[in-house]
Amino acid sequence: MGKGKYQDWLTHEGLTKLEGWARDGLTDEQIANNIGIGTTTLYNWKKRYVEIVEALKKGKEVVDREVEGSLLRRAKGYTTVDHQYKVVDVDPDVLHARRRKVANTYKLDHPEAAKQEIDDYAAEKVPTRESIELFQNQHEVPPDTTAAIFWLKNRKPDEWRDRKETELSGGVGVQVSDPYKNLSEEQLAKLADDDDG
């Protein structure tokens, strides 16, 4: 594919590459570098060719949805299962039976094949070792408070933002929290003494 030729990037292959790079999370600058053009040229192409804009947008939407799903999953908590495996030699009788099955299938598909060719094919396709699962360990990943707060502040800003707007006579005001409201009388007196001294 020619570097820097917009016509090449309007083809099915070119648009698919652009979409894939966007889905992989590359920035416009990185995508332009992959094409072999400057970022400004890519911006000009995006203004002129809707196909390029759509390919980049489609790729980025997939990643955005995946990240949203991961954030929501993290905010709510989830269950995960770990698997422990061990690689072992296949029992000789089982190995022989598996290879005979593969050899018979190959023989039916290739009736002209010689016995040695069939045996070689079966030996290549059926491994002598396999992995077996020893156990599974299921555990809970608890909800992540930071992820939950981030999600709520962005999805329900009127209910979860740090500052609340309140209506005052004559216009809108901002409710300010009192940094001293949780201090004891002793702490307040000490602060007052510090300010006087």
133 - beta bridge partners? 85
Q: Please report which confidence band the pLDDT of residue 159 belongs to, taking 50, 70 and 90 as the band edges.
A: confident
pLDDT, position 46:
94
Tokens of 176: 């300010």
Cβ atoms of 39 and 46 within 8 Å: the answer is no
pLDDT, tens digit (0-9, with 9 covering 90-100), for 53-83? 999 999 888 888 888 898 899 999 999 999 9
How far, in Å, CA of 166 to CA of 161, rounded?
A: 13
186: tokens are 């002793």
CA geometry: angle 124, 126, 127, nearest 5 deg: 90
CA 172 vs. chain centroid, Å, equals 42
Where in 48-164 does DSSP place strands (E)?
Answer: 78-89, 129-141
Please determine, for residue 189, whether its predicted confidence score (pLDDT) is greater than 70.
no
Question: Global pTM?
Answer: 0.44
